[in-house]
Amino acid sequence: MGTLDLRAYSAPLAPHVVRLPELADAAIATWRGRMINEHGSSRVFEGLAAQMREAGFPEGEIDEVREFAREERMHGVLCGAVVEALGGEARADIADGDPYPAHDDAETRTEAVLRNVLSICCLSETVAVSLIGAERIEMPEGELRTLLTRIYADEVGHSRFGWRLVARLAPTLDAATRERLGDYLEVAFAHLEQHELAHLPLASEPPPEGAVYGLCSGRDARDLFFDTVTQVIVPGLEAHGIPAGRAWAQRHEGADAAAE
């Protein structure tokens, strides 16, 4: 356990928000959760940059990923700024994150990098683009929407980076490598589903005015999550010859096997 304390960075950036006292606690909890998540994403991109360097990826691509890490740190500060604006504190206890997955069982370093790029950019960041995009459409004009737009634009970049990298490398992969990536995706999809559903509780049904704080229906967000996986991510990966449809269908078996 540790403490993430972004108050000194976040407080000066607090956006102007309308006052809806009955929704403030729910909004503070939501944005504090995001602050933790976003900050954690910066460590993930630092890990990816280091792994890509080890694997001999082009310097320009590594620089992009390091920039993503910086953007995620800023997203953490911005989400903390919303917490401060709502009357909360941009501070939280955080668990020690999982170690960055090295995937030493992959046949090549490039394959190990690809697994993480699939999981981070093609899955998590693509889902983030959908969920944040929907939330942004619902949100009225104002400083909070401007803040969310800034985060959204960066998440689009994080997602597209992964899809570009997969498009570049997929034609170089042999059939066995594609199969192994499909096997890996079973585990990655299971983790993605578990993580997203934990953050989108069905019990969350805020009133319509919650849209000014970015509070949305857990049920609608879950529907959008599943649509994003089945209509965007799975066909997108299949188009590159990666058996993502099979992986999604078998994700629960994959997770059970990994837990044994």
Residues that bind Fe ion (CB under 5 A): 38, 72, 75, 125, 155, 158
The token pair at 256 is 């059970």
Cβ contacts of 82 within 8 Å, gap of 6 or more: 14, 15, 17, 27, 31, 144, 147
Shortest reach from residue 34's CB to Fe ion, in Å: 8
Shortest reach from residue 6's CB to Fe ion, in Å: 14
Nearer to Fe ion, 39 or 180 (CB): 39
The alpha-helical segments, DSSP class H, found in 86-174 are 109-117, 126-138, 143-169
Shortest reach from residue 223's CB to Fe ion, in Å: 22
Nearer to Fe ion, 127 or 185 (CB): 127
Coil/strand/helix, residue 5: strand
Q: How far is it, in rounded angstroms, from Cα 151 to Cα 129?
A: 9
Nearer to Fe ion, 48 or 173 (CB): 48
Q: How far is it, in rounded angstroms, from Cα 96 to Cα 161?
A: 27
At 221, the amino acid letter reads: A
Nearer to Fe ion, 160 or 246 (CB): 160
Nearer to Fe ion, 129 or 242 (CB): 129
Shortest reach from residue 255's CB to Fe ion, in Å: 24
Shortest reach from residue 179's CB to Fe ion, in Å: 29
Cross-strand bridge partners of residue 91: 5
Cβ(4)–Cβ(77) under 8 Å?
A: no
